[in-house]
Structure 1
Amino acid sequence: MTAAQNEITTETLAELADRVRETHKTLYGKPPEFVVAAPGRVNLIGEHVDYNDGFVLPMAIERYIVMAGSRPDDDNEAQSQFHSISMDSSCRLSSKDSPGNDPTAPGWACYVQGVLAVFEQSVRQAPALNVSFDSTVPLGGGLSSSAALEVATATLLEAATATTLDMREKALICQKAEHVYAGVPCGIMDQFSSVFGKAGELMLLDCRSQEITAVPFGSDDVVLLITNSNVKHELNGGEYAERRSQCDAALKKIGKSTWRDVCMDDVKAARDQLSEPEYKRARHVVGEIQRTTQAADAISAGRWDEVGELMYASHDSLSGDFEVSCPELDLLVDLARDIDSEGGVIGSRMTGGGFGGCTVTLVKKDSAQSLMDALMSRYKAETSIEPSCFTSRPALGAHILSAS
């Protein structure tokens, strides 16, 4: 890890946009006509309940994908050229392509091509574009880099076609692209966070009604510390779908049509009908939905100690009942617990799908740098793995930076 990676600050959105503009001009011989940005997200609490009609409490983070586009000189060009600056890979795409069947296509191509296809199906035909993009959203860390890429693509298409999508429609276009073209049956949280994010606000998202309630992040003295374990465990495949299936089976056996109508007494009453995994998944879902609404209320009232307790309870449930944590994530949370409030820690938990990726820790702003140093050194000492850290407050969602 370089010294820069251990800094609280990072490349600003303006700096990233300037760099993408310059690279685009070098790649394509002219400056971009359209430049857009879409953020990653972190979920403070409410994990693995977005696809179970639950509540989630995410925020957009101050890490973005910036995407620049210009029309090709050849008016008859039918395909768009996309180039990832950080990965130094390119792909030619149209709405009719199937990059998932092309072994030479980069892994990110399915997300872009999916948005192209769904946009044309739902909105209007998109022009061919020369596109370049780069990102400060960590890849594979559970911070929704894929959703940010999808939302950036949709926002670029808005700019290039002079179209203003309904924000909910844009998020759903991107979700459908991930379902159909990337094959990931995700909930709505990631795309909604990238589209609807507002500076200074968390969003309490009702994943059943898709209604958003703003939760002001009222204290200037508190920030989120996001720590990437820099591990992603290779699994046998299908763990995400397996847990969805277990949740669906448990709900059916409990005899309810939605998890929102299930209380913990219902879960206990159905114990004999549920397999052990189904029982544990059900216990997590019901508990996590309740914890999330309680955390939103506590943040609004400035009861930070209560928020911290709910975050730790969420992690324990994700590790023990939903079984999506891993030793490295558990270690990061345990280290934060050990530092505790005397060292500026309010609460900590894993965030994202699990099996690696990041933890999110609520910390006192004045203690953030010393906490980063302590977490990173102790984590490396026990795992021999270099983690990476940064802080964020709630950030602005997807937007057009410039269009000509």
Structure 2
Amino acid sequence: MPLLFQPLEPSFSAILFDMSSLEITSSTGFLGDLVERLTQTFVAEHSRPPEWVIAAPGRVNLIGEHIDYNDGFVLPMAIERYVVIAAASRNDDSRRVSLHSVNLNETAQIDLSKPLAPSTPPTWYAYVEGVVAGFLERMGPDASQQLPSMDWLIESNVPVGGGLSSSAALEVATATLLEAVTGVSLAMDEKALLCQKAEHEFAGVPCGIMDQFSSVFGQENAFMLLDCRTQELRHVPFSSNKISVLITNSNVKHELTGGEYAQRRCECDSALKKLGRPSWRDVTLEILDAGKDKLTEVEFRRGRHVVSEIDRTQKAASAIESGDWQQLGELMYASHASLRDDYEVSCDELDLLVDLANKIGPAGGIHGSRMTGGGFGGCTVTLVESDKAVEVSAIMAKQYEQQSGIKPQLFASRPALGAHKIDRANT
């Protein structure tokens, strides 16, 4: 599938590290800058201002990896990187939505006069089509008549390829725009599930619920503890401005050919069946140890990661609430070791970044670090003291490039606001 968005010229909403020169740019209020630029572009291209401007964020997962499909908990936050859509209706009867991606410099058309169906292979705008199709189905017969012909302009500063959920951000931005256009408000969980279904059916990606839930439910200064079995979500306050989350893109993605993700899911399912339990939430380390003889060595290690990661994620939420950064950091390092050794989804570059963070340690401003996302490349997430983020990032960038030959991308973020309509009078 084509990339949804190409990475933009770097311009991050907290602290930006341009790895070619290590110049540091503060860009507070970057969402406002993105909205203003996109609005001006819309006016220049369509000779009228947009009627609606919508923003939806990407996300990063602090802890709780590869357990979303094993009934576990995840602890993501929305990040200060957004997909923004500017849109306006057209006075014609074409029954079409015209989409233009600024990042790709490509235009596509969605024909509202006929039923929408997935295309093969999926296109970059399949994410939009899937949400439009699901929204129309939700509205019932003749729903398409409530959608006017429209022009949409889409721009994103969510990095692609690092596991920060640019596709979910586009889906959620689309659903939020459709709410604004039609006046139909979806329940927040309903909107997230509609977007997940769109990705399953139109993009062919069998994702879990974390990405869409994060983009919908994101709150400033709060993580989200999401129970992937019950879909219950609890916001975990993260009020200290002294601590930030540093996201480091290793800028590697190892090509895999053995169906590694599906294989691990099968190994988990097989182990759970042999243990005779309905859910990994019903398995403790003691139960796992007692059933070790029933499992292959690989199944045992996969299960050990799942059970221990479920426990770590709940403890991490408690550590955040109590401001115990030392404990949170220890849980993050333990999570990475488990993903590396028991689940075997890390890689040399991710291990290097975590090792560099560990060596800097609390004395240098770092409390914990781990790989985040599916693995085999992508990003690490690091808990860093805010006043040392610049210094730490420069050190990590220099040492990572020296040892790997690859320039990383780093930016710091606080938990961000989820999908919302922009009041352009205040931008």
Q: Which moved more, 1:337-346 or 1:394-403?
A: 394-403
1:21 and 1:32 in contact (8 A); partners too: yes
Distance in 2 between residues matched to 1:237 and 1:178, nearest whole Å = 23
Matching residue within 119, 125, 128 for 1:100: 119
RMSD: 1.9
Please say which of residues 184-193 and 166-175 is displaced more in the overlay. 184-193
Shift of 1:25: 2.2
Q: How does 1:12-23 map to 2 (within 5 A)?
A: 12-23=30-41
* 1:357-396 correspondence to structure 2 within 5 Å: 357-396=378-417
Kept after mapping to 2: 8 A contact 1:8/1:391? no
Match for 1:157: what amino acid? Answer: L
| Number of the residue aligned with 1:319 | 340
Q: Look up the SS of the partner of 1:66 in the other structure.
A: strand
- Contact between 1:11 and 1:136, CA under 8 Å: does it hold in 2? no
- Aligned in 2, Cα 1:28/1:277: closer, same or farther, shift over 3 Å? farther
Q: Which amino acid aligns with 2:270?
A: A
Query: Given that residues 67 and 134 in structure 1 are in contact (C-alpha distance below 8 angstroms), is that contact kept between their aligned partners in structure 2?
Result: yes
CA separation of 1:233 and 1:27: change in aligned 2, threshold 3 A: farther
Q: Which residue matches 1:112? A: 128
Task: Indicate the larger mover: 362-371 or 246-255.
Answer: 246-255
The secondary structure found in structure 2 opposite 1:205 is strand
Q: CA deviation at 1:146?
A: 1.0
Task: Provide the C-alpha distance between the structure 2 equivalents of 1:294 and 1:154, rounded to a whole number of angstroms.
Answer: 34
| C-alpha separation in 2, matches of 1:336 and 1:211 | 33
Counterparts of 1:258-277 in structure 2, within 5 Å, are: 258-277=279-298
Partner of 2:51: 33
Query: Which residue does the alignment assign to 2:15?
Result: none
CA displacement at 1:11 relative to structure 2: 6.6
Q: Which amino acid aligns with 2:138?
A: S
Give the unaligned 5+ runs of structure 2: 1-18
1:99 is displaced (CA, Å) by 5.5
CA contact 2:118–2:203 (8 Å) conserved in 1: no
Per-residue deviation, residues 344-397 of structure 1 (Å, max 9, x unmatched): 000000111111111000001111000110111111111111111110111110
Pairwise CA distance, 1:253: 1.3
Q: 1:80 to 1:354 in 2, by over 3 A?
A: same
CA contact (8 A) 2:118 2:201 kept: no
Alignment check: 8 A CA contact 1:41 1:61 kept? yes
Residue matched to 1:183: 204
Distance 1:165 1:260, change over 3 A: same
**Does structure 1 residue 121 correspond to structure 2 residue 137?**
yes
Residue correspondence of structure 1 range 308-347 to structure 2 within 5 A = 308-347=329-368
Is the 8 Å Cα contact of residues 231 and 357 (structure 1) preserved in structure 2? yes
What is residue 99 of structure 2 aligned with on the other side?
82
Partner of 1:150: 171
Equivalence map 1:222-241=2 (5 Å): 222-236=243-257, 238-241=259-262
Runs of at least 4 residues off by over 4 Å: 1-6
Q: What's the CA shift string for 1:256-306, capped at 9, x where partnerless?
A: 111111111222222222233322221111010000000111111111100
Q: 1:50 to 1:25 in 2, by over 3 A?
A: same
Pairwise CA distance, 1:403: 8.4
CA displacement 1:306-364 (0-9 Å, x = unmatched)? 00000000011111111111111111101101111111000000111111111000001
Give the TM-score of the pair, scaled to structure 1.
Answer: 0.94
The one-letter code sitting in structure 2 at the alignment partner of 1:45 is: I
- Supply the distance in 1 between the matched residues of 2:381 and 2:362 (Cα, whole angstroms): 15
Shift, 1:249, TM fit: 1.7
Partner in structure 2 of residue 64 of structure 1: 82
Report how far residue 184 of structure 1 moved: 1.6
Aligned mate of 1:166, from 187, 194, 212: 187
Structure 2: distance between partners of 1:283 and 1:301? 27
Give the Cα separation in 1 of the matches to 2:105 and 2:353: 32
Other-structure match for 2:220:
199
Amino acid at match of 2:120: N
Determine the structure 1 residue equivalent to 2:71: 53
Residues of 2 paired with 1:44 and 1:86: CA distance?
Answer: 28
Could you tell me how far apart the structure 2 residues matched to 1:323 and 1:78 are? Answer: 50
| Percent identity (aligned) | 55
User: Aligned equivalents of 1:14 and 1:82: distance in 2?
Assistant: 22
Q: Judging changes above 3 Å, is the alpha-carbon distance between structure 1 residues 166 and 237 closer, same or farther for their aligned structure 2 residues?
A: farther
Question: 1:98, CA displacement in angstroms?
Answer: 4.2
- TM-superposed deviation, 1:149: 0.8
Distance in 2, Cα, partners of 1:132 & 1:288: 41
Q: Evaluate the alpha carbon distance shift between residue 338 and residue 70 of structure 1 in structure 2; reply closer, same or farther with a 3 A threshold.
A: same
Matched residue of 2:422: which SS? strand
1:131 aligned to which of 143, 149, 152: 152
2:236 is equivalent to residue 215 of structure 1 = yes
Measure the CA separation in 2 of the matches of 1:331 and 1:250.
31
Q: Structure 2 matches for 1:241-320, cutoff 5 A?
A: 241-320=262-341
- Residue of structure 2 aligned with 1:44, choices 30, 39, 62: 62
Indicate the SS of the match to 2:212: helix
Aligned residues: 400
- Distance, in Å, in 1 between the alignment partners of 2:310 and 2:392 is 29
Change (3 A) 1:94 1:170: farther
SS of the residue 2:86 aligns to: strand
Deviation at 1:183, TM superposition (A): 1.7
Amino acid at match of 1:115: V
